[in-house]
Amino acid sequence: MAYDALVVRDLDAGYGAVRVLHGVSLRVPEGQIVALLGTNGNGKSTLMKAILGLVKPTRGTVRARLDGREVDLTGRATEEIVDLGVVLVPEGRRLFRDLTVEENLVLGAWRACARREISGNLRLCFETFPRLGERRRQRVGSMSGGEQQMVAIGRALMSMPRILLVDEPSVGLAPIMVKQTIETIGALKAKLGLTVLMAEQNFTQAIRIADRGSVLVHGSIAFEGETAESLGDNHLVRQFYLGT
């Protein structure tokens, strides 16, 4: 039975007096990748942060279905939400620059269930990104953007997520790395049975792996498309991304 792993309903959120999200509703079916599309400043990151409790919503709910259990995430502390299996790969990677690759990865394994599987999950990370295995003792601050993005995704994998939130994985990467990173996310989803919500500006790359897409404009969902064609035909997408 297909069900929705993540359901956002009528969400308002913002910073101080500035309201960024206006009644956002969104659902992510279990085992699918939903691409959250929209240009800078439309609220993609804020929505991600609000789901994870890093920004407190002023209205609306965030609910998740994890291991057959319905959980209300609204108002919970971030570490609690992560502990339930909802994990974010933050925008700009936000790694611990003074620590090594391996230390960064191990820091992702704070959940009780993930703590028991650290060595197995490290192996998974190094299989997925052989580059990281070669550089496990290197300080993360001295690595390239693409390698850092690998560490950021690896850190999220270490927590054995059920629902993975990925915020702008392509920011600051070379075009070839963008393609690779997006493909890896797609492969990981298939391999681990993840549910993924991915915010991305790079429409053409994102739509290659996404099962569906939602377009966020000025803090509200303006359009939802079930297929790549329907998204490509949409006038908003054409206006923002395709320049036609």
Q: Which residues bind another protein (CB under 8 A)?
A: 52, 54, 77-79, 82-83, 87-88, 90, 94-99, 103, 106-108, 110-111, 155-156, 159
Nearer Cβ to another protein, position 56 or 218? 56
- Whole-angstrom CA distances from 150 to 7, 86, 189 are 28, 19, 15
Nearer Cβ to another protein, position 118 or 222? 118
Nearer Cβ to another protein, position 128 or 205? 128
CB of 229 to another protein, least distance (A): 34
51 burial (CB, 10 Å; 0-12 / 13-18 / 19+) is buried
Cβ-proximal residues to 48 (8 Å cutoff; 6+ apart), any chain? 36, 88, 90, 91, 165, 167, 197, 199
Nearer Cβ to another protein, position 115 or 208? 115
CB of 164 to another protein, least distance (A): 12
Sheet harboring 33-37: ordered strands across?
86-89, 163-167, 195-200, 33-37, 212-217, 220-225
Sheet harboring 4-15: ordered strands across?
18-29, 4-15, 59-66, 69-72
Answer for the pair 87, 184: CB distance below 8 angstroms, yes or no: no
Q: Which residue, among 65, 53, 52, 60, has the nearest Cα to 5 in the 3D structure?
A: 65
Answer for the pair 66, 241: CB distance below 8 angstroms, yes or no: no
CB of 95 to another protein, least distance (A): 7
Nearer Cβ to another protein, position 51 or 215? 51
Nearer Cβ to another protein, position 46 or 205? 46
* Cβ count within 10 A of residue 110: 13
CB of 10 to another protein, least distance (A): 24
Q: Are strands 69-72 and 59-66 parallel, antiparallel or unpaired?
A: antiparallel
CB of 57 to another protein, least distance (A): 16
CB of 82 to another protein, least distance (A): 3
